[in-house]
């Protein structure tokens, strides 16, 4: 078996390619062995893996042909990997092709998450993770929000972005349009004035919509929704992180669908 090749310069074209991926280029940037493993398991095309010299990643590397493995000193890997403390392995991968939204929505068990204009990629990744965990069938995001396939969002999703169908649409209005066309109930998460989660029937095909951090959903989207839902909170708390809100509503939907009934889920004293 031939030894892995080595790159020793930060100006190497491969390092430049990683830098482009960090800025939203055509390739995904996978940082850390877990994401690389998840991408390979999901069938993504991982063309090359750069491993820090001296790091033992033998189990993962045995799954790749030697010509796809590159060794690099810590300083070069740091130039290729965006976190302050690189995990010792980084790889580019081809972006998965976007699925046609209509095919994702016309399911009897449809539970679609709409993330509208979220700016924090960590929140976008966390929502992708909890959406898959709770049994959601798709995630729709707006192109004006954080890229669900950016490196920070991928780290937050921990592999869920490779398995959960994800589509990026041009606007909140387009998200509402496509879920309406599919016959889904549109549920808007609002900070106050909505029904409590257990009062909303989430057993029917549903799209749960969540708005940007600090701003919430646009007024037009709220007006267009069939139902408004608000997480009950004890005073003086006025709001929750958007990913936490998504988790609570998704697991209420999961509870209702597993038990076949609404009415005994999330409850709190306001």
Tell me how long the chain is. Answer: 270
227: β partners:
187
Query: Tens place of pLDDT for every residue, the chain, 270 residues?
Result: 455 688 888 888 888 888 877 766 778 999 998 999 999 999 998 888 999 988 766 677 777 888 888 999 989 988 888 877 778 899 989 888 877 766 678 888 999 999 999 999 999 999 999 999 999 999 999 999 999 999 999 999 999 999 999 999 999 999 999 999 999 999 999 999 999 999 999 999 999 999 999 899 999 999 999 999 999 999 999 889 999 999 999 999 999 999 988 764 443 333
101-259 CATH choice from 3.40.50.1860, 3.50.50.60, 1.10.4080.10, 3.40.1280.10: 3.40.1280.10
**What are the C-alpha distances in Å from 211 to residues 36, 127, 229?**
30, 12, 13
Classify domain 5-94 by CATH number: 3.30.1330.30
* Burial of 196 from C-beta contacts in 10 A (0-12 / 13-18 / 19+): middle
Q: Whole-prediction pTM value?
A: 0.90
Instruction: Give Cβ neighbours of residue 240 (< 8 Å, ≥ 6 apart).
Output: 231, 233, 248
């Amino acid at each position: 078996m031939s030894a892995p090749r080595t790159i020793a310069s930060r100006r190497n074209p491969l390092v430049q390619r990683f830098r482009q991926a960090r800025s939203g280029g055509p390739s995904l940037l996978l940082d850390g062995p877990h994401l690389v493993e998840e991408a390979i398991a999901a069938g993504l095309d991982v063309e090359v893996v750069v491993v820090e010299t001296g790091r033992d990643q033998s189990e993962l590397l045995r799954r790749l042909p030697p010509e796809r493995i590159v060794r690099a000193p810590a300083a070069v890997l740091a130039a290729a990997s965006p976190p302050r403390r690189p995990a010792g392995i980084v790889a580019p991968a081809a972006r998965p092709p976007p699925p046609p939204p209509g095919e994702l929505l016309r399911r009897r068990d449809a539970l679609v998450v709409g993330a509208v204009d979220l700016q924090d990629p960590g929140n976008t990744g966390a929502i992708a993770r909890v959406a898959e965990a709770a049994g959601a069938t798709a995630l729709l995001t707006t192109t004006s929000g954080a890229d669900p396939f950016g490196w920070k969002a991928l780290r937050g999703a921990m592999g869920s972005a490779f398995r959960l169908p994800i589509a990026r649409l041009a606007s909140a209005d387009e998200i509402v349009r496509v879920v309406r066309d599919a016959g889904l109930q549109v549920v808007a998460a609002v900070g106050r004035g909505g029904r409590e989660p257990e009062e909303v029937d989430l057993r029917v095909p549903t799209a749960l919509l969540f708005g940007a951090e600090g701003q919430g959903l646009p007024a037009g989207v709220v007006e267009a929704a069939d139902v408004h839902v608000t997480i009950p909170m004890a005073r003086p708390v006025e709001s929750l992180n958007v990913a936490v809100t998504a988790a609570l509503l998704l697991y209420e939907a999961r509870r209702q669908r597993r038990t076949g009934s609404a009415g005994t889920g999330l409850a709190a004293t306001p």
